[in-house]
Amino acid sequence: MSDELKPDELLDKVDHSPASGSWMDTTVQIRPGIFSYAAKPESLETLSAPNPRQWNPLDDDWKLPENWQEIIHNGIKERLEKFRTFKIFMDVCVRCGACADKCHFFLGTGDPLNMPVLRAELLRSVYRNDFTTAGKILSKIPGGEKLGGGRPMTVEVLKQWWYYFFQCTECRRCSVFCPYGIDTAEITIMGRELLNLLGLNIDWIATPVSNCYQTGNHLGIQPHAFKDMLDFFTEDIEEITGVNVEPQFNVKGADILFITPSGDVFADPGTYTCQGYMILFKYLKDKYDLNVTWSTYASEGGNFGFFTSHETMKRLNAKMYAEAKRLGVKWILGGECGHMWRVINQYMDTMNGPADFLEEPVNPITGTKFENAKSTKMVHITEFTADLIKHGKLELDKSRNSNRVMTFHDSCNPARGMGLLDEPRYCIQNVCDNFFEMPENTIREQTFCCGSGAGLNAGENIELRMAGALPRANAVKYVHDKFGVNTLGTICAIDRAALSTLCEYWVPEVEVYGVHELVGNALILPGEKKRETDLRMEPLPGMEDDDE
């Protein structure tokens, strides 16, 4: 299959000149390596989603409901009324092309339908045909619909939607450059909602959603196994530091509820970031008597519902406040995750608030009021840690990270759906001496996606992911060559998995670290023994000889 495609072969394919002819006449060729497998019926059934059935995108027959066109038509109509974004974005694009070469999938695949404007036009063409005055008039004249750029909704169009709305990571980079702020991610979100009305999800999204709903997290890890995993980390950390950092679970009356994506608990190298959190919480417990609890019920910060529909997002997100209320904590602390934070920052309070049973978050150790979170009552862990460091509340030994030459990848959602840019940088620079930025056009609000976000981190679409990863990898390679960067820092659980694959493929000399893994390495626990290794059990700088 396509995982045999070598980086060089992939690079040979990069061509940004579109073919001649009109995109409207193209028919979709669904290609292995580019698409993700269809959702299993069982996963759709958990949340009573429409049309659960076994189907295969490569088959002609997608087993659609009889009245599927009507469902789509009504679905569009409803969303035009419910979302001003959708309606305006359908109407005002002037096709100036400013967004065209901003998408990592276009840059990596050269497929013109991956230009954000055309991704949106896939839906807009149907909108023009069915919902605008001009379109309705033109469609009555033979050949007229073409003039106005309208298309009737056909199975062919539907397949194009499916193929290309699952080739968008909802990263919003295009939206930064659009003169009207047209956010193709928002259009993709609508497109995926519509597809879900017909049961056209992908399995890599639907199954985590179903697991998360029932078991509390994407991987379907049951409560005892979740605890086992953290116990296992506790043993590792004790071996390294000599300190028992045992976490607490589901504790009523704790000060703070901590929620992080389950990827941190179950997938390397996120597990090391998780150990970093555990070390930090132990430190704060011992030094300042701060009580942080984990939850097995709300054991997922990530929210693949966001990649399904607004309703599903809300159903999964509801657990955070429900659990905080049940446990009676003061406020919630959130771990390092990208889309989780877009949901918390832009949706959670509106959907599931008001959180009037929580207190306005104050850092009990420094007295800092987190003004920017006073309604949602959820604080990002890098905001929290940056505040602790600033007030000199953490004892840090930077030298333990001195073999790390860092750069930092801004994850799309914290960058463009929140603006969390300097907090993680501040943390990194206080636990590590060597830090170099990637080029300006590839960081902060202009950051490039890892290519695997929004539920596309599946194994079967690896060609798409590695192509989409190209712009990010290219910038990483640049700082690797120029400054000898060997570590890519990030604050996103999907990134920790996706960037590792990306680096392995494109820049094998670079490793991926979560910010709190570095914090965990540097933080000096009260009563710890002399550490010889970092959390990965690799010798610390200067300790290499002691090995063997």
Partner 1 sequence: MKQKYMLPLTGVFLLFLLAYAGVEGAGMQWFFGIVVPYAAVLAFLAGFVYRVMGWASSAVPFRIPTTCGQQKSLPWIKQNRIDNPDTTAGVFVRMVLEIFLFRSLFRNTKAAFNRNEKNKLTYSWEIFLWLGALAFHYSFLTVLLRHLRFFLNPVPACIKVVEYFDGIIQVGLPIVMLSGFLLLGAALFLLARRIFDEKVSYISLAADYFPLFLIIGIAVTGIFMRYFTKVDILGVKTFTMGLATFHPVIPEGVGGLFYAHIFMVSILFAYIPVSKLMHMGGIFLSPTRNMANNTRMKRHINPWNYDVDIHTYEQYEDHFRDKMIDAGLPVDKKE
Can you give the binding site for ligand HEM, defined by CB under 6 A? 94, 96, 179
Instruction: Please say whether the beta carbons of 89 and 121 come within 8 A.
Output: no
CA distances from 425 to 34, 336, 386, 395, 523 (A): 34, 13, 9, 18, 17
105 makes contact, choosing from ligand HEM, ligand SF4, partner 1, none, with CB < 5 to 8 Å by partner type, with ligand SF4
Lookup result for tokens 């970031």: 273
Tokens describing residue 434: 């060597």
Position among 145, 170, 193, 387 found at the interface with ligand SF4 (CB under 6 A): 170
Q: Indicate whether 280 belongs to the interface with ligand SF4 (CB under 6 A).
A: no
Based on CB atoms, which residue is closest to ligand HEM, 152 or 179?
179
Q: How far apart are CA 447 and CA 489, in angstroms?
A: 14
Q: How far apart are CA 301 and CA 43, in angstroms?
A: 20
Q: How far apart are CA 54 and CA 460, in angstroms?
A: 18
Site mask, ligand SF4, residues 55-94, x = CB under 6 A? --------------------------------------xx
Q: Indicate whether 409 belongs to the interface with partner 1 (CB under 8 A).
A: no
Site mask, ligand SF4, residues 89-118, x = CB under 6 A? ----xxxxxxx--xx-x----------xx-
Contacting range for ligand SF4; rule: CB under 6 A; set: 181-189, 209-217, 344-352, 436-444:
181-189
169 makes contact, choosing from ligand SF4, partner 1, ligand HEM, none, with CB < 5 to 8 Å by partner type, with ligand SF4
Q: Indicate whether 373 belongs to the interface with partner 1 (CB under 8 A).
A: yes
Q: How far apart are CA 458 and CA 501, in angstroms?
A: 11
Q: Please, what sign has the CA dihedral across residues 494, 206, 381, 256?
A: negative
290 Cβ neighbours under 8 A, 6+ residues apart: 255, 256, 281, 284, 364, 365
Contacting range for ligand SF4; rule: CB under 6 A; set: 72-80, 163-171, 336-344, 370-378:
163-171
Q: Indicate whether 390 belongs to the interface with ligand SF4 (CB under 6 A).
A: no
# of chain residues touching partner 1 (CB under 8 A): 120
Nearest approach in angstroms of CB 378 to partner 1 is 7
The distance in angstroms from the start CA to the end CA of the chain is 42
Q: Indicate whether 128 belongs to the interface with ligand SF4 (CB under 6 A).
A: no
Site mask, ligand SF4, residues 326-365, x = CB under 6 A? ----------------------------------------
23 makes contact, choosing from partner 1, ligand HEM, ligand SF4, none, with CB < 5 to 8 Å by partner type, with partner 1
3-state helix, strand and coil shares in percent for the chain, rounded to the nearest 5: 55, 5, 40
Residue 492: which region, alpha, beta or left (left: phi > 0; alpha: psi -120 to 50)?
beta
